[in-house]
Structure 1
């Protein structure tokens, strides 16, 4: 039926049909073009610690530390540099919007996407998000802050409603957005999947117009998360773009009907249209004569920023007897052990998966740093799961190569593999132990459908029985010995079967030989759904228990590094962690290796805290590296050997157990709801209120030098609407240059029930030479004192007695009284 309505804007050069086709995407990864205004379709890219292209031309990008690691730097100027690099790389990919950062708070210690968000605290998260947003947008690329709001768990996230009281909402879960809007001014916001108090924000006029626009003052572009709109409510909700396209809700037909029925007026659609045009024009800087840096990808500058971010993220949590830094002149043999030693773990699973041009593992980083001066020996010790030990490179030879190098690895697009075309990428892989998650394993490959073929020779060096295994993640696999298939997890794949595509597969094969021999080896893997990964393991007649082998190696060396933790097999999009303990036999490995060699340092890679109870007392030194990005191995090595003084501080409280964390009693929820019954008692707020000592407190991190924080002073009394300055001298009293983070907390005197004693309001990071003193100067604003009164629906000064607490963690503070006029 032809509509009788007038164009939304009679003066617009756009026809009514062109206007009504602008409110939904062109396809999965493009916003529609506006030909009348000479504005091309806008391609968007995913992720917040790199650029992930999920549509052609695919390709790789620089992989920075994930957001939890960025927050651990507590360094806003550095993270703004990361943002600038991301802005340049996004444009280098011919994209104009990066769908990040994600800023939702770490409410749960098991949260699957904690690794790609910043912190448990809204001030730290909001300020770090603001820094990366400013950086991205300073290069003419739009940031898109997400996911509005309360997207704090992955379990059943599309169906379970976050039930949150108004005060908790505004003082925690909306405050992080409010800070980012005020200090970062993002051009775009993405809605969330989950309902809040029974309403899906993308479909809710109350949430998008009432809270986001009217209350919080956001006047930019709003896009739905992919397939997050539920129904007709989105027509009235103030969402500007439905994704992916073609739309299902914001279609021209439905919008015409809504106009005729008076469900939405022309003025509202005109406002949305103008927001879309303004976004496009911001991302077309040449139109306004603006000049930005040229697009840039995988440059020395970006590699340097990635390295510095990884170095400043690494947090020294324990260093008994000043074991670290290691002295290269006193170490001749170094053992590097653990399931994360030979792998560069880059993040949890999910859409925030980056395919770097290269990635450096801790083992490679250490070998590159020490060169020939130290004999660096490797033992896996244990896997992250129940797999057989990984077949090591010394028994593998690539095609036309030598044993010790690994295997020739050919990476194909599926159709190219099936038609016997050339691979997209050929390289050498030392061993087959990969967990790529949602990312592409190599440049120029799509991330959802690829084949990897490893080929070369396998050496069986002794007579006896061998057992081999493969384990796939959401894929199929096969092993051929001398041209004969010996493990087949490939031929029964049914691409039309939903469950078959998502299945993980495992297979084994045993062979007994009378004499040593070499085998022509071919191993295949094809990804069939979302998470990709492949492991090839063995058990040999000369095999020791892998932990025992690691213990013997450790005992024979001058020092040991154990690299353990998590990977995208255990946390990520749609995957909250199932258990607190380190996966596999890592706790036993750490205990036994530390007993065999007391000069052992443990390095963790993970996005969420782990269980320390079974092994921390045994480990003399502990570094938290988070997921440190492509330069992580180099950064870890430089910190271990003192080339860099660690300066990271924890962005989360590390609990003794999950049971003591109050939100866990409400997780995952029931009857379609998850109650935020802990209220404001999240992270350190709970520990301070309950008087419980965590394993490691929020804001904590050691150094190779020592600092002294002096007596703080206030510049005056605080009055309504104003700000004052707190200044505090900080001295480096040690013999190494280092960086210290000064943290300022507002403390309520005699807080009422339900109010935690204190909350972070500001912080600053100082770089100090040995013997140097600097003064940290931090603003305290009147708004920092306000709390939300749900009865009045307003921010008010509900208390008048405060202290300012200044220190270098939430548990190491000195107090001064805050005066009000």
Structure 2
């Protein structure tokens, strides 16, 4: 241990005291030993340090900070150097705001396009997500503070996220859902990791010994700190045994007492607690060193320009019929769409940033050189139909050479805590497009959203530019691409299916009441579409440019692939060259091809460059469930270089020596997985892949409700109080949406509806304790008066205890 001498001078009470927060955002301090409190802040794409009520959990406005493009946007740049630069600037701002630990990046896989938090995640591909995350982490931590990669692990939906059990076979878990975390640990050297709310194969991730001990600590050699998601602690002692050091937010001493009692009873060895204390102390002392040095306030304009640069490289040109873009000089443009007036530039929830500057499209036209003849909103932002707005928009469109139509998803559709209801954009926007198309077919659509959407209307636009969620400078960045000042170089980090029903997890998402089964296995995103030959709208890795690139002369060596890349067009540009590897032997089921490397290259018009993409430890490996190790199959591998996963320009073969491991599967028992056609996997086949029976996926409605049951489950409560509470929450949600308070309605779903009873204590920073929750559970389980008496008694006890502690501290 690094701090053995210091820990030997600590009392048992002090060690337990350190294991939960001081308040919502800070750790505890021990003045007599020089242990200071450190500050955590949300920050995947900007610092959200609350300006007010920082001691209370909530989504209060943060101090002004640069709002960079979200992870889903930055991933489209495929530029790891740019990601590292974003990390450096985030680190600088964190220091300016006196933040020790930045809660990000998020590297969960985009298993399904409806996940409400996809805008915070990089990709459907673990290799791309891992590389971008590792670079961001290196950038953040180069400033002396800590990144906190999240949410570990298999948190791929928001619905019932605090109680759902993710049922995943071991190989899929390792290859798809843990690889990006592995890269964050081994390549990014992250100092802290946040566990997720959900269960994984029956056990909450905070206390999952296989995940936390076998894989994270022993296999990956992780020596940093693990922190719970806010309110995510279930069994505190089990969490410590698994190596989850820090519980956030504060429990006001309640779980400290549980730790002390566990030590005294022998349930928890004090050496285990000492190890946890040692790792937390390392996070505290190494990040606090940074604040002992002089530092400057961050330069607002400079950081804004960096945000703009990132947005420019991340914009994806999806369609450009008749070379409608870039806009030719002097063409009269009608600007239509509410998002042009009020930019949609970030997601919603805990990552909401209060921007230092915010560019709006209508304020940036003069410098862009684009001639705008006027603006009309065209539609109501939150979906309400308005024929008058459509008429006005059409009248303006008739006078224009080109229509710039700004459409997308609103802030309350993509949000933490709830998943999207469909892949469609609101119907009132499609109605507007239909009407505009009749009066002027020269339409360029600018799409603003953080995840994939269906586009049955795409034939009605000549140009389509996807800005994703481009941060505070996104609006200006889009205009620079439209005008031709910037040549678009973004490529999709996720597949766009023709329709939601085509997605591999369509039948399995978001699961039943108690669990979600990952029956599609390895086949998420392009791995499925490619292998099962399912047509898509836009493939993974796709993106157009204002120039053209030619690939030639591929050469493969045992540790690299080299090829020539030429810009055959008339303007300079950047191309993302992608390395895919396939193993056609058929002995072990695999996707047809998998991303194993990439490089973004700037090339002037007419220039040629030689490009090398090295192989690494992940290029040929697969996880063997028989040996419980990463192995390499001896075979001839296809080495493919492409402009997207569907546009392979060069191919070669390479024989690779294997590790001699036994074949892990009986091919006859897993026909769906060997064919890749996993849209309807039978339960017995999935159980064959799992190696065990699938758990019951429905709630046991005969059992009394307990700590891990949710407010949603109160609809089945034996007591009237429980059923009343459920219907009250449902009514409040409906009523708030009805009167237009959509954000508040979403907050109810996020913080109440799917909240386990233990979360009432965990989320309130100790204001409500578990003894009070016991009273609530009695009430909902049919013992109303006994429960009410217990609740009131425990409330009085808590108040008396608090008053006594206050009096004692004053003396």
Structure 2-normalised TM-score?
Answer: 0.77
Cα 1:628–1:275, aligned 2, differ >3 Å: closer, same or farther? same
Cα distance between partner residues in 2 of 1:342 and 1:286: 41
1:163 equivalenced with 2:167 (yes/no): yes
State the match for 1:816 in structure 2: 652
State the match for 2:793 in structure 1: none
State the match for 1:608 in structure 2: 451
Cα distance between partner residues in 1 of 2:641 and 2:254: 51
Note the alpha carbon deviations across 1:78-105, whole angstroms, 9 max, x for none. Answer: 1111000100111111111100001100
Cα distance between partner residues in 2 of 1:49 and 1:593: 35
Aligned residue runs from structure 1 range 277-676, under 5 A: 277-286=281-290, 294-297=295-298, 299-328=300-329, 330-331=330-331, 333-370=332-369, 374-387=371-384, 545-613=388-456, 615-676=457-518
Cα distance between partner residues in 1 of 2:33 and 2:468: 45
Contact 1:148–1:191, Cα closer than 8 Å, also in 2: yes
Contact 2:153–2:196, Cα closer than 8 Å, also in 1: yes
Cα 1:17–1:582, aligned 2, differ >3 Å: closer, same or farther? same
Cα distance between partner residues in 2 of 1:36 and 1:221: 23
Note the alpha carbon deviations across 1:613-635, whole angstroms, 9 max, x for none. Answer: 1x101110001100000001100
Contact 1:341–1:563, Cα closer than 8 Å, also in 2: yes
Cα 1:750–1:247, aligned 2, differ >3 Å: closer, same or farther? farther
Contact 1:65–1:628, Cα closer than 8 Å, also in 2: yes
Cα distance between partner residues in 1 of 2:381 and 2:427: 5
Contact 1:550–1:593, Cα closer than 8 Å, also in 2: yes
Cα distance between partner residues in 2 of 1:36 and 1:620: 69
State the match for 2:136 in structure 1: 132
1:712 equivalenced with 2:554 (yes/no): yes
Note the alpha carbon deviations across 1:195-242, whole angstroms, 9 max, x for none. Answer: 011110112333212222112322110000011111242232211100
Per-residue deviation, 1:29: 0.5
1:262 equivalenced with 2:259 (yes/no): no
Contact 1:705–1:734, Cα closer than 8 Å, also in 2: yes
Mean Cα displacement is larger for which, 577-586 or 42-51? Answer: 577-586
Per-residue deviation, 1:21: 1.0
Q: 1:19 aligns to what SS in structure 2?
A: helix
Mean Cα displacement is larger for which, 766-775 or 56-65? Answer: 56-65
Note the alpha carbon deviations across 1:330-383, whole angstroms, 9 max, x for none. Answer: 22x32111131111212222111111022112333334423xx72441111112
Q: Which structure features the higher share of helix residues?
A: 2
Q: 2:497 aligns to what SS in structure 1?
A: coil
State the match for 1:237 in structure 2: 242
Note the alpha carbon deviations across 1:463-507, whole angstroms, 9 max, x for none. Answer: xxxxxxxxxxxxxxxxxxxxxxxxxxxxxxxxxxxxxxxxxxxxx
State the match for 2:564 in structure 1: 729
Note the alpha carbon deviations across 1:399-453, whole angstroms, 9 max, x for none. Answer: xxxxxxxxxxxxxxxxxxxxxxxxxxxxxxxxxxxxxxxxxxxxxxxxxxxxxxx
Cα distance between partner residues in 2 of 1:634 and 1:286: 35
Aligned residue runs from structure 1 range 685-700, under 5 A: 685-700=527-542
1:183 equivalenced with 2:182 (yes/no): no
1:153 equivalenced with 2:149 (yes/no): no
Cα distance between partner residues in 1 of 2:288 and 2:383: 52
Cα distance between partner residues in 2 of 1:11 and 1:806: 54
Per-residue deviation, 1:726: 1.1
Cα distance between partner residues in 2 of 1:298 and 1:630: 15
Per-residue deviation, 1:569: 1.2
1:224 equivalenced with 2:203 (yes/no): no
Cα 1:367–1:672, aligned 2, differ >3 Å: closer, same or farther? farther
Contact 2:585–2:635, Cα closer than 8 Å, also in 1: no
Cα 1:214–1:707, aligned 2, differ >3 Å: closer, same or farther? same
Q: 2:239 aligns to what SS in structure 1?
A: helix
State the match for 1:764 in structure 2: 599
1:43 equivalenced with 2:44 (yes/no): no
Cα 1:29–1:276, aligned 2, differ >3 Å: closer, same or farther? same
Of 16, 20, 24, which residue of structure 1 is paired with 2:16?
20
Cα distance between partner residues in 1 of 2:4 and 2:642: 57
Per-residue deviation, 1:297: 3.3
1:91 equivalenced with 2:87 (yes/no): no
Per-residue deviation, 1:384: 3.3
State the match for 1:441 in structure 2: none
Per-residue deviation, 1:63: 0.4
Contact 2:383–2:426, Cα closer than 8 Å, also in 1: no
Aligned residue runs from structure 1 range 170-209, under 5 A: 170-209=174-213
Note the alpha carbon deviations across 1:755-788, whole angstroms, 9 max, x for none. Answer: 2111001100001111111122111125421111
Per-residue deviation, 1:118: 0.3
Cα distance between partner residues in 2 of 1:673 and 1:817: 42
Q: Which structure features the higher share of strand residues?
A: 1
Per-residue deviation, 1:25: 0.4
Contact 2:335–2:372, Cα closer than 8 Å, also in 1: no
Cα distance between partner residues in 1 of 2:199 and 2:174: 16
Cα 1:780–1:247, aligned 2, differ >3 Å: closer, same or farther? farther
Cα 1:247–1:816, aligned 2, differ >3 Å: closer, same or farther? farther
Note the alpha carbon deviations across 1:578-606, whole angstroms, 9 max, x for none. Answer: 12211141122223323422332111011
Cα distance between partner residues in 1 of 2:364 and 2:18: 49
Cα distance between partner residues in 1 of 2:634 and 2:439: 56
Q: 1:340 aligns to what SS in structure 2?
A: helix
Contact 1:8–1:269, Cα closer than 8 Å, also in 2: no
Cα distance between partner residues in 2 of 1:768 and 1:10: 56
Cα distance between partner residues in 1 of 2:7 and 2:35: 18
Contact 2:80–2:135, Cα closer than 8 Å, also in 1: yes
Aligned residues: 645
Over the aligned positions, Cα root-mean-square deviation in angstroms equals: 2.0
State the match for 1:246 in structure 2: 251
Q: 1:20 aligns to what SS in structure 2?
A: helix
Mean Cα displacement is larger for which, 68-77 or 232-241? Answer: 232-241
Contact 1:384–1:584, Cα closer than 8 Å, also in 2: no
Cα distance between partner residues in 2 of 1:603 and 1:807: 26
Contact 1:706–1:732, Cα closer than 8 Å, also in 2: yes
Q: 1:666 aligns to what SS in structure 2?
A: coil
Structure 1-normalised TM-score?
Answer: 0.76
Per-residue deviation, 1:322: 0.7
Cα distance between partner residues in 1 of 2:198 and 2:98: 31
Cα distance between partner residues in 2 of 1:286 and 1:744: 39
Mean Cα displacement is larger for which, 125-134 or 349-358? Answer: 349-358
Mean Cα displacement is larger for which, 343-352 or 194-203? Answer: 343-352
